[in-house]
Chains A and B, each alone.
Chain A
């Protein structure tokens, strides 16, 4: 019965224990990988919804969102600036202008790429042993037929009561300020929002890049806007008129339009995030009003250092935490990894938590198919063009009943693609109405503005949502 291929492992010599199960008869040669096969890296079996490049060095969300558009707009505007405006301004004003412009442009592109290509602070999923241990502690003899009731744990942080929720996908209690992004299917630490403009989540590790990006972008757009205006004004001098100036420099017209709309939204966004940084809040918390003191008790943000300067420093200049997901680590040859296929992907719930922050002009969102644009709660009221379908990013902290009912009915939906049916139990009832309107006006649905709370009617609307989803 002695099996030559069985390796006796001395547990004391191992830095990390990987207890090998006893080999079954006859399957070993097929099951264990031959030594000559190259060992795989951990990113190749990563269960989340991400894409990896350069052998795991670069990580992105699976849906790149409108990142190409963002890059394209920045490139086009800057290139036009250098071609049309710089020569004139260098001649008439100063040669510092292209230098400043170039420096800002480089800074913007670098920070954008870093925001997009960095791990935002993804928490690796719990190992099976850990998950079993947690289950034991909760001691819930749940029925196997449906998902057990949601689990929460309450802790006190700085005299504030904080609820930790159990993540069914990652099988662990989420640390405070952590949220599960359903687009990327990962729990992200200090989750801010999922930004389609950069094609990635914004979380603990890349928030500073994101902030640097939007601040430098607002400087860049303001700078270009100012330069173009000066250029056109100078050309139009002497009674020649604006039309003449525009004819001489047509690129400037394009830049003017882009920058005009960009400046307001980006500046607004930068202002909003400056407020968040100064109070050590995340977009997620701000939108949910976690610390706004809406209840009677005195509720304050337990994570704030109560000092604007210290808050700013800790968020932007604090120590850079390492990536927890070890993308480039090698897999042990016989370790059975958690496969994503087993887990039921939670369908995206329609609480819209931010998505297109800084909509670069609602006009653009109107022309882009509803796929991409969603409501921006940040400064602009949600437009009627929002659509709760595949675009939106969510942080899944809806009311607890939803995962239960969703999980029971919708199994193994595809990752983030064309949307499993959504329950529009949502903040923006307007967008649900809008969604029902957009695709098929002939559909005779008595759309009431109330959110579908009642039981049977919610199911009906859920199915209607499904039919619309399939129309997309």
Chain B
């Protein structure tokens, strides 16, 4: 009996459900996610912690899309070179996206994975949603 029980666990991966944090368009078309705490995560993580993660992400995206001196300079230079400079240079946006990627990986390792959660980088979902996968923790049950 115990054997089939553990085999069952082996065959079935940890069950998971997904929660999607949608975009917040209240300030226009800029990339910003809703900071509303999803009810499915209530048992897993602090509301404060979650909001801090989302807020940091929002700030990073705002930095990527900021209209300022640096981005204008980049734009003008690109225009003068008939935009061929985009072929060789990494844009400011891309650099910030890499930063976001590192931040998410970092958050996953430190905070979310120990709680059985996994954040997916929004860029892999077309910047539409922040996908959070909730893994059912079976180890507690079967690890005897």
A320 is contacted by which of B26, B91, B121 (Cβ under 8 Å)? B91
Question: B108: which A residues are within 8 A, CB to CB?
Answer: 15
A110 and B83 contact, Cβ closer than 8 Å, known pairs A11-B135, A320-B93: yes
Q: Are the C-beta atoms of A319 and B93 separated by less than 8 Å?
A: yes
Q: Are the C-beta atoms of B7 and A2 separated by less than 8 Å?
A: yes
Q: Looking at chain A, what size class is its interface with the partner chain?
A: 35 or more
Q: Are the C-beta atoms of A8 and B84 separated by less than 8 Å?
A: no
- Interface check B105, CB cutoff 8 A: yes
CA gap between A14 and B94 in the complex, in Å: 22
From residue 102 to 151 of chain A, which have CB atoms closer than 8 A to chain B? 106-107, 110-111, 114, 123-124, 126-127, 129-130, 133
Question: A155: which B residues are within 8 A, CB to CB?
Answer: 25-26
CA gap between A164 and B127 in the complex, in Å: 16
Nearest-neighbour CB distance to chain A for B26, whole angstroms, equals: 6
From residue 303 to 340 of chain A, which have CB atoms closer than 8 A to chain B? 303, 310, 313-314, 316-322, 324-326
CA gap between A9 and B13 in the complex, in Å: 8
- Interface check B35, CB cutoff 8 A: no
Question: A274: which B residues are within 8 A, CB to CB?
Answer: none
- Interface check B41, CB cutoff 8 A: no
Q: Mark B70-104, 1 if CB is under 8 A from A, else 0.
A: 01101110110011101000011110010000000
Most chain A CB within a 10 A radius of its CB, from B74, B128, B129? B128
CA gap between A255 and B123 in the complex, in Å: 48
Nearest-neighbour CB distance to chain A for B110, whole angstroms, equals: 12
- Interface check A43, CB cutoff 8 A: no
Q: Mark A8-21, 1 if CB is under 8 A from B, else 0.
A: 11011011110110
The residue of chain B having its C-beta at the shortest distance from the C-beta of A2 within the complex is B7
B28 is contacted by which of A1, A127, A158, A164 (Cβ under 8 Å)? A158
Question: A303: which B residues are within 8 A, CB to CB?
Answer: 28-29
Question: B13: which A residues are within 8 A, CB to CB?
Answer: 8-9, 11, 19-20, 22
The residue of chain B having its C-beta at the shortest distance from the C-beta of A21 within the complex is B13
Q: Are the C-beta atoms of B75 and A316 separated by less than 8 Å?
A: yes
Question: B82: which A residues are within 8 A, CB to CB?
Answer: 106-107, 110-111, 114, 212
Q: Are the C-beta atoms of A111 and B26 separated by less than 8 Å?
A: no
Q: Are the C-beta atoms of B29 and A209 separated by less than 8 Å?
A: no
CA gap between A114 and B71 in the complex, in Å: 20
From residue 262 to 316 of chain A, which have CB atoms closer than 8 A to chain B? 302-303, 310, 313-314, 316
- Interface check B43, CB cutoff 8 A: no
CA gap between A107 and B83 in the complex, in Å: 10
Question: B12: which A residues are within 8 A, CB to CB?
Answer: 22
Nearest-neighbour CB distance to chain A for B19, whole angstroms, equals: 8
Most chain A CB within a 10 A radius of its CB, from B16, B18, B64? B18
Given contacts A17-B133, A320-B91, A322-B97, 20 further A-B contacts (CB under 8 A): A1-B11, A9-B13, A11-B133, A12-B113, A15-B105, A16-B120, A22-B13, A106-B82, A124-B125, A129-B18, A130-B20, A175-B29, A175-B128, A208-B83, A212-B82, A313-B67, A313-B72, A314-B67, A320-B93, A322-B91
A-B contact pairs, 27 of them (CB 8 A): A1-B7, A1-B11, A11-B118, A12-B118, A15-B108, A16-B120, A22-B11, A22-B12, A110-B84, A129-B20, A130-B128, A130-B129, A133-B18, A157-B28, A212-B82, A317-B74, A317-B75, A318-B65, A318-B67, A318-B75, A319-B65, A319-B71, A319-B91, A319-B93, A321-B93, A322-B93, A322-B123
